[in-house]
Amino acid sequence: MKKRMMVLLLTAAMGMTMMGCQYGGDADAKSEQEETKKEETKRSEEKSGLSGTVTLAAAASLEYAFEEELIPAFEELYPKVTIEGVYDSSGKLQQQIESGLAADLFFSAAPTQMSTLDEEGMIDSDSIVSLLENKIVLIIPTSSDASFASFEDIADANTVAIGDPKSVPVGQYSQESLTNLGLWDAVSAKGSFGTNVTEVLNWVAESSADCGIVYATDAATTDRVKVVAEAPADSLKSPVLYPVAMTKEAPNQEAAEAFYEFILSDDAMTIFESYGFTDYRSAE
């Protein structure tokens, strides 16, 4: 009898212990849920507190990615913030910022323009990130039956569309590649120099030029051109890099910081990669 009573008491004690553990586990889970909810509420309040316009000065080759997906995605997260994109060649954007364009962020298609503005004290140096990598490619009109197969074949063209090396990064990359291939003098003599990469792309798409050199990402935006070759790797001293940074006098500092962080996020990178860019940070 005593033995049976001890078994019953032991069983009851174990049951109480298990109930206590279950209750404690439920309490811990509830506490964790409450903390998560508080964090989400805090982030929501922070987002709702940001408002106004953020001006992005970005290379023309970034326009599609920003206007079609990145900006709408950010504005959905921050409904009171409007992103205004200004797109052109990086050289022209540099000049506009120097002349007073109130840009919050600068996203260049080459390090040169970013470095110049940084040296002039117009960029937040600590925020500079070499974010994206691109490629330069030789394109011809889709309707063309020309037998171009390599960068060297560009010498056979009658008209060549190239970005102006004086201010357009894709033109500077083109000049570097063709110079190293011993073709620059011959090609530049029959070149039409565009004010940005979009203009070069359009000239070839419209068959106003036999061929042209653009970024791979731009060539992918239309079926009116086809890529026949990529610039030989040894024809460029360094990769085609896109650095991004905040300006030192960003008019809308807090909202600009949020947009800057968004641009650096994994979600944004997934969108950039869908447009043909690669994450340069992963190659470092």
Q: Quick check: 61 and 215 in contact, CB under 8 A?
A: yes
Q: Print the domain residue range for 65.
A: 49-133+241-283
pLDDT digits (tens, 9 = 90+) for 95-154: 999 999 999 999 999 999 999 999 999 999 999 999 999 999 999 999 999 889 999 999
Which percentage of the chain shows pLDDT scores above 90? 79
User: Do 143 and 225 fall within a single domain?
Assistant: yes
Q: E strands within the chain?
A: 52-59, 81-88, 105-107, 129-134, 136-141, 160-163, 191-194, 211-215, 225-230, 240-246, 278-279
User: Do 91 and 210 fall within a single domain?
Assistant: no
User: Do 145 and 202 fall within a single domain?
Assistant: yes
**What is the structure's pLDDT at 34?**
64
Residue 24 inside a domain? The answer is no
**What is the structure's pLDDT at 191?**
94
Residue 4 inside a domain? The answer is no
- Residue 49 — pLDDT band, cuts 50, 70, 90? confident
User: Do 204 and 245 fall within a single domain?
Assistant: no
CATH number of the structural domain spanning residue 143: 3.40.190.10
User: Do 144 and 260 fall within a single domain?
Assistant: no
Mean of pLDDT values over 60-79 = 97
Whether the per-residue pLDDT at 30 is higher than 50: the answer is yes
Mean of pLDDT values over 234-253 = 95
**pTM of the entire predicted model:** 0.78
Residue for token pair 């357009």: 168
Token readout for 167 is: 């201010």
Whether the per-residue pLDDT at 41 is higher than 80: the answer is no
Mean of pLDDT values over 2-26 = 53
Token readout for 192 is: 């039409």
pLDDT digits (tens, 9 = 90+) for 257-269: 999 999 999 999 9
List the single range of 51-55, 67-71, 148-152 with lowest mean pLDDT: 148-152
**What is the structure's pLDDT at 42?**
47
Whether the per-residue pLDDT at 45 is higher than 50: the answer is no
Annotated binding site: 61, 90, 197, 215
Q: Which residues contact 53 (CB under 8 A, 6 or more apart)?
A: 81, 82, 83, 84, 252
User: Do 61 and 128 fall within a single domain?
Assistant: yes
Residue 89 inside a domain? The answer is yes
Residue 246 inside a domain? The answer is yes
User: Do 158 and 208 fall within a single domain?
Assistant: yes
User: Do 261 and 209 fall within a single domain?
Assistant: no
User: Do 157 and 223 fall within a single domain?
Assistant: yes
Residue 19 inside a domain? The answer is no
Whether the per-residue pLDDT at 233 is higher than 80: the answer is yes
Considering only residues 39 and 38, tell me which one the structure prediction assigns the higher pLDDT: 39
Residue 8 inside a domain? The answer is no
Residue 102 inside a domain? The answer is yes
Q: Count other C-beta atoms under 10 Å from residue 31's C-beta.
A: 10
User: Do 146 and 222 fall within a single domain?
Assistant: yes
Residue 16 inside a domain? The answer is no
H/E stretch holding 34 reads helix 2-49
Considering only residues 24 and 231, tell me which one the structure prediction assigns the higher pLDDT: 231
Annotated binding site for molybdate: 61, 90, 197, 215
User: Do 122 and 204 fall within a single domain?
Assistant: no
User: Do 159 and 120 fall within a single domain?
Assistant: no
Domain count, the chain: 2
- Residue 22 — pLDDT band, cuts 50, 70, 90? low
pLDDT digits (tens, 9 = 90+) for 186-222: 999 999 999 999 999 999 999 999 999 999 999 999 9
